[in-house]
Structure 1
Amino acid sequence: MHDDCEFCDIIAGDRPAHVLYEDERTLAFLDANPAVTGHALVVPRAHEEDLLTIDEATSAAVFETARTVASGLEAALEPDGFSAFHTSGPLVGRIEHAHLHVVPRFADDDVSLSLARTDLADGEAAAVAERVRAHLEG
């Protein structure tokens, strides 16, 4: 557990939450400030700051729990689809405990997860791909 972490407090049972699912590695609960009905958060029980840097077993457990929770939300709420996302770093939020949002989507919801898009120049794409491959291979 980590001092001053809202999610660690929920995991410890020191802060109330509407738990949807839990297992030995993860906990899923309804977001206290949901974008839509059923907006859920899936967190690792261990305090980790970023889903992209945790060990493989915990990462797999978080995504398996997201799949399980989405199945339950699908049966209970009959949404038109789902958005699932993770953000990290100081620019995107105040909670420093890794979490995955699972958001049921409805045709009339006001959720906007749109990204400004541009064309990717072939030279730029090749340069980025080369840099990433070099890092991964070496």
Structure 2
Amino acid sequence: MARVSPFERYAPDLDAYHERARTGPCFVCGIVARDPDFLGHHVIYEDDGAIAFLNGWPTQYGYALVAPKEHREQATGDFTAEEYLDLQRVVHRVAEAVREEVGAERVYILSLGSNEGNAHVHWHVVPLPPGTPYDEQQFAAVMLETAGALDIPEEENASLAARIGSRMEGA
């Protein structure tokens, strides 16, 4: 994989990740509750209905997640049209703040999860760095299995979250 980031990549323990996703507590609810087991996900934005935070295992620098604070599992069916559009406004604001902060050439936005694991609906906001070769874009850039995770120091993640949050305040 091309090095478009100054941070080293590592292969996380995917078996342990999937086991926790399928049998552990809801990670989004844990982040909302500020459970110490979920401190690696730095919050970048929060309002009464939504929360946005950095991915704890980012494949790209600035990779963020946006979720409703209330536990909901369906990307559309658990929302009124107004609630859904309000949440998508947050997704848009996060994506623009991330894009501007990290200088992404493109931002991928997708909702992933499963009723069998990571059931709390959330949207992935994944910035693609300039110069990423075509065969390392799209799903290859998003998936841990293909991209690996960036080893970003804790202090840098905290600083990045604060900078993205500041951009959202100005939006």
TM beyond 0.5: yes
Match of 2:31 in 1: 10
Give distance in 1, aligned partners of 2:65 and 2:73: 14
Counterpart contact for 1:35–1:111, Cα < 8 Å: no
From 75, 81, 84, the counterpart of 2:106: 81
More helix by share: 2
In the alignment, does 2:81 pair up with 1:59?
Answer: no
Give distance in 2, aligned partners of 1:31 and 1:9: 14
The normalised TM-score by structure 2 is: 0.58
% identical equivalent positions: 26
Counterpart contact for 2:113–2:122, Cα < 8 Å: no
Give distance in 2, aligned partners of 1:72 and 1:89: 27
From 23, 27, 34, the counterpart of 2:47: 23
Aligned length: 110
Q: Whose relative contact order is higher, 1 or 2, with alpha carbons under 8 Å and at least 6 apart? A: 2
Q: Which runs of 5+ in 2 are unaligned?
A: 1-23, 141-171
Give distance in 2, aligned partners of 1:111 and 1:35: 11
Runs of 4+ in 1 over 2 A off after TM superposition: 87-90, 109-114
In the alignment, does 2:139 pair up with 1:113?
Answer: yes
Match of 2:6 in 1: none
Match of 2:74 in 1: 50
Shift of 1:61: 2.4
Match of 1:97 in 2: 120
Give distance in 2, aligned partners of 1:88 and 1:108: 26
Counterpart contact for 2:113–2:120, Cα < 8 Å: no
SS at match of 1:7: helix
